[in-house]
Structure 1
């Protein structure tokens, strides 16, 4: 899910800015217009299109239990729908050039209780009943008006486009979704032996009983296993971003293979290893500057772990 990579609960202003980016990207051809919250108020909405879509965004202040989150979402939706059907807001909407409202979107990172959908339906019925009772007073509401609850996942395509075009300041954090402990002892024995052998070569054929050697081996086995999980999740969630990272990794892997296999001076193994890691990290950071610092660091070590585990990085 999108929120697994941007943080479940962002600050309200940041969430509002992100929603604006998504709506601008999706509805620009429909004359999307952002409404500043100053100079007369926003009339209970964040923005609108010339095709009759308006939206209001809301980000919870912190992580709530399912029912508690529902109550906060319910309260916010109720408050803003009450604004929508208030006569003084009608005049404000008209003055802003908002056309007859077909859809009212309630945009939040996620919801965990389907009762919010029932509440949205009840509020839709309320608005339509108001219009039926007083058509002239509610002529700014369409006959087919509806309230739609939208979440971050609904804007995955827009998020990917903005990320790759570098038109968004939001940084993708690949480490948020993978916080569980890795059982490195479950690593494939052949891969583990490759990592042990190559780490020893880099460290100058150090004793297998050396504690630093054991720690580095454990870390790279964990990097190798965690990297597989991260890329697998990324492949499902953001396939285009995954493909571009894989393309860069594949190019760098070929260079690593050639440079390590051509190196005949064992005394510079450590120096060469450090150079390769830095170069790959620099290229990741340069080409994917919308990745968080933690993501670049994680991906860098994960890829090195995979190069040690297979035949790409080969030290004598």
Structure 2
């Protein structure tokens, strides 16, 4: 989920800012219009489009249990739909030129309980019943009015694009994703042996029982496995971010391959290796301003692990 990659916890202000950017991007063709809360109020919605979509966002104040989260979402939805059907807000909506409302979007980071879907349907029926009883008073509500629950995952393309373009202060954090234990079966013996051989060449042909040697080897094997998974997720779900990283990785990998193959002095393997690490980190930091520092560190070791495993990075033994 896109929420797994967002750095820090969202609050009401940052979520509203992110949602407005998402709607402006996603519904540009429908002339999305944000409604500032000052000078008359926001009419109970954050913004609207000329196609009859309006939305209200909500971000829970803290982590809740599933049941607590449902209760908060239910109460917030109830309060906001009640605003939508009140005389006060009806007047304000008409003053702002909001077209007949076909879709009312309730935009939240996520939901975990299907009861909120049932509650949305209950509130939709209530609105339709009011319109049927008093059609003139509720002319601003479309006959086919629906309530749609949107969550962060529905805007993952927009969110990743917004972050890439640094429109928001929120950054992507891959390091958060790297918390689960790796599946060692994903690194076959050939890849593992490549990593062992090259680490040994860099460290100076140390004994395979050496504690530091084994620690370094294990770190790179784990990073290789974790890198496979993170890049799979990026390739499938966050294409633009993946392409950014892939293009730099491919270009730099060629330089690394040439530089290490042309090194005939095995005594400077460690110096050369550390120079590559530092230079690659600098390039990542300069190109990917939308990644956290921890993400850059993770990305560096994941990619270098891949170079060690697939022979892009060659070091001759002493």
TM-score bucket of the superposed structures, by smaller chain: over 0.9
The within-5 A match list for 1:89-128 is: 89-128=89-128
In structure 2, how many angstroms separate the alpha carbons of the residues matched to 1:186 and 1:290? 29
* Aligned counterparts, 1:92-241, within 5 A: 92-182=92-182, 184=184, 187-241=187-241
Alpha-carbon separation, structure 1, partners of 2:49 and 2:154: 18
Aligned to 1:19: 19
1:300 and 2:292 are equivalent in the alignment = no
Alignment of 1:258-277 (within 5 A): 258-277=258-277
Deviations 1:40-91 (A, max 9, x none): 3222111111222110011122333323221111111001011111111112
CA contact (8 A) 1:196 1:217 kept: yes
- Cα 1:44–1:211 change in 2 (3 A) is same
- Measured after TM superposition, the shift of residue 183 of structure 1 is 5.4
CA distance in 1 between partners of 2:155 and 2:185 (Å):
39
Farther off after superposition, 27-36 or 125-134: 27-36
Q: Which residue of 2 aligns with 1:288?
A: 288
| Partner Cα separation in structure 2 for residue 38 and residue 143 of structure 1 | 30
Separation in 2, partners of 1:184, 1:271: 30
Name the CA shift for 1:186/1:86 in 2 (closer, same or farther; >3 Å). closer
Alpha carbons of 1:204 and 1:291: their partners in 2 closer, same or farther (altered >3 Å)? same
Q: What is the DSSP-based 3-state SS (H/G/I as helix, E as strand, rest coil) of the residue aligned with 1:136?
A: coil
The yes-or-no answer on 1:53 pairing with 2:58 is: no
Looking at structure 2, the residues matched to 76 and 160 of structure 1 have their Cα atoms a distance apart, in angstroms, of 27
Deviation digits for residues 70-118 of structure 1, max 9, x if unmatched? 1111111001011111111112222333222221100011111222111
DSSP-derived class of the 1:54 partner: strand
Scaled by the length of structure 1, the TM-score of the pair is 0.93
Q: Which residue of 1 aligns with 2:5?
A: 5
The equivalent residue for 1:251 is 251
Q: Which moved more, 1:126-135 or 1:276-285?
A: 276-285
Which runs of 5 or more structure 1 residues have no equivalent in the other structure?
none
What residue in structure 1 maps to residue 76 of structure 2?
76
Whether the 8 Å CA contact 1:31–1:49 is kept in 2: the answer is: yes
Q: Secondary structure at the match of 2:174?
A: coil
Report if aligned partners of 2:7, 2:171 keep a CA contact under 8 Å in 1: no
Contact 1:5 1:173 in 2 (8 A): yes
Q: Deviations over 1:152-174 (max 9, x none)?
A: 12112322433444434331222
Displacement over 6 Å in runs of 4+? none
Query: Taking structure 2 as the reference length, what is the TM-score of the superposition?
Result: 0.92
Q: Residue in 2 aligned with 1:66?
A: 66
Q: Any gaps of 5 or more consecutive residues in structure 2?
A: none
